[in-house]
Amino acid sequence: MSKKIALLPGDGIGPEIVAEAVKVLDAVAQRFSREFVYETLPIGGNAIDDFQDPLPPHTVKGLKESDAILLGAVGGPKWDQNPSHLRPESGLLRMRKELGVFANLRPITAFEPLLHASTLKKEVLSGVDFLILRELTGGIYFGEKRRTATETGELATDTLVYSTQEIERIVRMAFDIARKRKKILHSVDKANVLESSRLWRETVNRIGKDYPDVKCEHILVDNCAMQLIRNPRQFDVVVTENMFGDILSDEAAMLTGSIGMLPSASLGASVGLYEPCHGSAPDIAGRGIANPLGTILSSAMLLRHSFGWEAEAAAIEEAVYEVLSKGVRSADLATPDEKTVSTSEMGDLVVQSI
Amino acid sequence: MSKKIALLPGDGIGPEIVAEAVKVLDAVAQRFSREFVYETLPIGGNAIDDFQDPLPPHTVKGLKESDAILLGAVGGPKWDQNPSHLRPESGLLRMRKELGVFANLRPITAFEPLLHASTLKKEVLSGVDFLILRELTGGIYFGEKRRTATETGELATDTLVYSTQEIERIVRMAFDIARKRKKILHSVDKANVLESSRLWRETVNRIGKDYPDVKCEHILVDNCAMQLIRNPRQFDVVVTENMFGDILSDEAAMLTGSIGMLPSASLGASVGLYEPCHGSAPDIAGRGIANPLGTILSSAMLLRHSFGWEAEAAAIEEAVYEVLSKGVRSADLATPDEKTVSTSEMGDLVVQSI
Ligand SMILES: CC(C)[C@H](C(=O)O)[C@@H](O)C(=O)O
Ligand SMILES: CC(C)[C@H](C(=O)O)[C@@H](O)C(=O)O
């Protein structure tokens, strides 16, 4: 039975990197006798250009009818001055909400062959292997926004709201995942200041009672931003609200050698959404030098989480590891003395290793 | 003419480290023929214990009558379960608001003798020297908080509000400071999601017209969290709102070798408030092993910013540098093979160097 994968190449380097992931998926299909049907749909800047909407209705429809979604990246300077509903990011946020993917999983895994390129010391990074779980459809991203005039200027307001239910479902997922790993969960909040964080913390404590085997610690967001650099190996699973997760997961990306390598999965609904953690990199778009590995590794997560195909996922991850171990580097990964390959050469090498 | 300095030792290691800073201030007074009068006032947990109020009225009165304020740190597990108005942090936040110190300055300076102890590579840190300017009396820390019951649980709400005026005054201060430094200003926001960030960005652009000589760049908070680790030397002055500043400045503290070293100044009102960036460290309180250098360097900032005494401030900073260069280490700064000195020995050594 064939699986339907919706492709959202997006903007900037998006189309280039998604094309390489498709090559790799096709190689997996061949090796494991699977069949994929792809449907390419518009989102972001290109959708604004063609449909005056960063998330056209037919994209939403196509996504909901698919078995899983692979996204490149959206955005670019061309649309940065648009009113907010006509900006690529607003398509992304609406998509998350429409699909109901409330949990963003970001594995932070140190890639041994790349560690020398990090600004952190190798001995600090070696063995780093944790997962950040970011709440993705609530909080200040989706609260009411307001702008009002005052006598002396303006007043801008954002609202950070969380319900018990929204917190519960992501926290429960975090405990479930921690239980299958090292059974260490860090819940990040700012409970000494925010009311939403206090509800968050209470909810974590309540749900934690169902998971006595998992060691759960609360950590303040400012302290967490420090600890990620000071001693990243202390972490196994980290769960947090939307905005904190945005900041901390990008910071944590620096622990792995390169953000170009990092995949992500957005789950919690009937269809899962997979995308690299890096952005659309408009400055290098179309030059064939982007690193496709984040997207390729996202497609591995897709096979694992949406289809339950562990062997297929592992085959991709091992192929990527093998290619890196041989010293193959895209431009973003290379130190000045290392030779680099193009986007499509990198994809071809991963395919050969599968 | 004598200067009146209000001392707020606070909780945990606070009293120990403030005592050392006072020793150093007295040494400066002697060398430069200055006179200080100190008034010690309660704040935080000890004030809750003695006055059922983390910021008693007579503390506020004493602070407002002083020429400058030196704070140790507040907080500890003893008061962590209190209702929020009876928690040490709420005294701190109320004090900031009552005094009107809207600008928190945190210099992030790599201390060459300590760099080997950082988890970042020495070549990345060497020469790091920037200033984070955090807005301190607005934003989500001070917006309306609410908790309401729903059918399925509760709803917790925090409100992030900024007015044009609040943004303007901190941004103007940032441009003024940048002008006296390398003329590079990074303004951090999340303008692709938050309305308050969009007002922030517009205000920065408008005020920037008065400072054509300063190169001003906008950077998204998630990207900034990455860039601080990837390439910290690109920064000179960084200005941001309250919550982002809290997170990013603690992250940036890791760039200097130890948060134990870092001073801060909170300015913008008639009286300035100075404190180390680290917390009250209740786990090591009373053992005489805390690092007093963050507080000692805060007292240097006090002399510079509140009294305009550059030579006196520099004398403290040079003394600290000299002591560190000789290999003197408090427990938090030492690698396993280094000998350590106690809190008061460290203070004495700085005094000797003055
Ligand atoms: C583009 C932006 C709205 C988005 C976010 O903040 O969620 C991005 O930074 C991400 O992390 O996916
Ligand atoms: C104690 C806490 C409320 C405070 C803050 O977040 O402002 C602290 O983290 C700081 O940075 O001074």
B132 assigned ligand-binding residue: no
Q: In DSSP terms, which residues pair with A128 in a beta bridge?
A: none
B226 CB less than 6 Å from ligand 1? Answer: no
pLDDT at position B115 is 87
B73 assigned ligand-binding residue: no
What CATH number matches the domain at A119-256, 3.30.530.20, 3.40.50.80, 2.60.40.3500, 3.40.718.10? 3.40.718.10
CB atoms under 10 Å from CB of B82, counted, come to 14
Residue ranges of domains in chain B: 1-101+257-354, 119-255
pLDDT at position A259 is 84
As assigned by CATH, the class of the B119-255 domain is: alpha beta
Region of A278 on the Ramachandran plot (φ > 0 left; ψ -120 to 50 alpha; else beta)? beta
Percentage with pLDDT > 70 across chain A: 100
Quick one: average pLDDT of A68-93? 93
Nearest CA to ligand 2 atom 3: B89
CB atoms under 10 Å from CB of B145, counted, come to 18
CB contact under 8 A, A160 and B157: yes
Chain segment A106-163, per-residue pLDDT in tens = 999 988 888 888 899 999 999 999 999 999 999 999 999 999 999 999 999 999 999 9
Q: In DSSP terms, which residues pair with A132 in a beta bridge?
A: A106, A238
Residue with the larger pLDDT of the pair A82 and A131: A131
pTM assigned to the model: 0.96
Chain segment B262-292, per-residue pLDDT in tens = 999 999 999 999 999 999 999 999 999 999 9
Residues of chain A contacting B230 with CB distance shorter than 8 Å: 119, 254
Regions of chain B where pLDDT drops below 70: none
CB contact under 8 A, B121 and A120: yes
Nearest CA to ligand 2 atom 8: B246
A89 CB less than 6 Å from ligand 1? Answer: yes
The whole-angstrom separation of Cα A248 and Cα A244 is 6
Is A141 noted as a catalytic residue in this protein? yes
Quick one: average pLDDT of A254-280? 92
Q: Which of B145, B172, B192, B246 to mutate to test the interface with A (most CBs of A within 10 A)?
A: B192
Chain segment A187-246, per-residue pLDDT in tens = 999 999 999 999 999 999 999 999 999 999 999 999 999 999 999 999 999 999 999 999
Residue A257 clears pLDDT 80, i.e. is over it: no
Is A250 noted as a catalytic residue in this protein? yes
Chain segment A270-307, per-residue pLDDT in tens = 999 999 999 899 999 999 999 999 999 999 999 999 99
Alpha helices in chain B (DSSP H): 14-32, 45-51, 57-64, 88-99, 122-125, 164-179, 195-208, 221-230, 242-253, 293-305, 310-325, 343-353
The whole-angstrom separation of Cα B155 and Cα A162 is 6
- Across the A:B interface, residue pairs with CB atoms under 8 Å apart total 172
What CATH number matches the domain at B1-101+257-354, 3.20.20.70, 3.40.718.10, 2.60.120.260, 3.30.460.80? 3.40.718.10
* Type and span of the H or E element at A68: strand A68-73
Q: Which residue of B43, B80, B92, B264 sits with most ligand 2 atoms within 8 Å of its CB, as the best mutation to test the pocket?
A: B92
Q: Which of B189, B229, B261, B278 to mutate to test the interface with A (most CBs of A within 10 A)?
A: B229
* Topology (CATH) of A1-101+262-354: Isopropylmalate Dehydrogenase (3.40.718)
A101 CB less than 6 Å from ligand 1? Answer: no
* Alpha carbon B245 to its chain's center: 10
Topology agreement, domain B1-101+257-354 and domain B119-255: yes
Nearest CA to ligand 1 atom 3: A89
Cα A318 to averaged position of ligand 1 atoms, centre (Å): 28
pLDDT at position A339 is 87
pLDDT at position A160 is 98
Cα B246 to averaged position of ligand 2 atoms, centre (Å): 7
Give the C-alpha distances (Å, rounded to integers) separating A292 from A99, A117, A262, A312, A322: 25, 18, 10, 18, 15
